[in-house]
Amino acid sequence: SDVYKRQYQRRVRVFKLKNKEFTFDVDVSNLPCGLNGALYFIEMQQDGGMSEHSGNKAGAKYGTGYCDGQCPHDIKFINGEANLLDWKPSPNDPNSGFGRYGTCCIEMDVWEANSQAAAYTPHVCTVQGQYRCDGTQCGDGSNRYGGVCDKDGCDFNSWRMGNKQFYGPGLTVNTNQKFTVVTQFITNDGTDSGTLSEIRRFYVQNGKVIPNSQSSFSGFKPYNSVSDAFCVDQKKLFGDKDDFEGKGGLKALGEAMDRGMVLVMSLWDDHEVYMLWLDSNYPTTAPPNQPGISRGPCATTSGRPDDVEKNHPNANVKFSNIKFGQLGSTFGH
């Protein structure tokens, strides 16, 4: 399920994040392997597409207009039309399916996490705003890198970057307790109009400010934030295609922030690959000791939605104390 930040009855609030910081408290202690309590920004239309599409009589108040960097095909209404063409019900999710069209836009994943693993990840696209994709534009299957959006993104996951003692139950950021997440969007010249150049992360827990962990691979720079240099070097180290830089990198994300992005919070399980990309070894066919494959401590057999939903029916994430403001203004340091 998704929740938007509404500003007016029919419009969602848009945030302009460059040269600002976004801070919130989160409790993930009741989120096991296979679940994802997410907080992120997307470049959807503020009114959910009502003013642009005559068939859309519902608007953002009723959840229309959603899009993200995965160009999802399971959205049932896109651009004021039912996504009925070529609809195929999901084989393992009675509430979902796959239609002809996807709905794409730039996405900034500030927080994707459970009690075992966490990542923050920008995804960029070659299109502006919400875009209904069709065919190869959607980047499906073997054409993953041929679509309009960078589905992989450029993620910073402390475990994946080599530090397995930083985030988790009883670790430096102790997920048995509530903590504060601070994300700063740095520009090259320190102004709101500058080019987005870095995304920094801090945590605060029990009154202590905790800098983000550093990458710790031999011969690899000790990065602790997301920058274009980090993304290029990480993709080389992991042997991944650099679709992020190929589709515009942080500059493209910054331009979306200039136009304004919408805050979304969600809690979901994964019927495709069981959230292994976040908290386990993925792909499961690759050696776990290969850099970039191990992303968290969860077993590769974990995360099956039927198991998660049956055995953890009361799982939840709690977001609170959300703040947005000038750099350094939203947390004690």
Cis peptide before 288 (omega within 30 of 0): no
Helix (H, G, I), strand (E, B) or coil at 253: helix
**Residue from 21, 112, 255, 272 carrying the catalytic annotation:** 112
Active-site position among 107, 245, 272, 309: 107
How far is the C-alpha of 257 from the C-alpha of 332, rounded, in Å? 26
- Beta-strand ranges (E) seen in 254-309 are 261-269
Ramachandran region, residue 94 (left: φ > 0; alpha: ψ -120 to 50; beta: rest): alpha
DSSP string, 80-122: TEE--TT-EE-SS-TT-EE-SEEEE--EEEEEEE-SS-EEEEE
CB-based contacts of 202: which residues, under 8 Å, 6+ apart? 181, 182, 184, 209, 210, 211, 212, 331, 333
What is the enclosing helix (H) or strand (E) of 174? strand 173-174
Burial of 239 (0-12, 13-18, 19+ CB in 10 A): exposed
Q: State the Cα torsion 194-161-155-180 to the nearest 10°.
A: -80
Q: Quick check: 26 and 318 in contact, CB under 8 A?
A: yes
- The amino acid present at 303, given as its one-letter code, is G
The tokens for 69 are 């960097």
112 is catalytic: yes
State the helix-helix crossing angle for 228-238 and 249-259, rounded to 10 degrees: 130
Q: Which residues are catalytic?
A: 107, 112
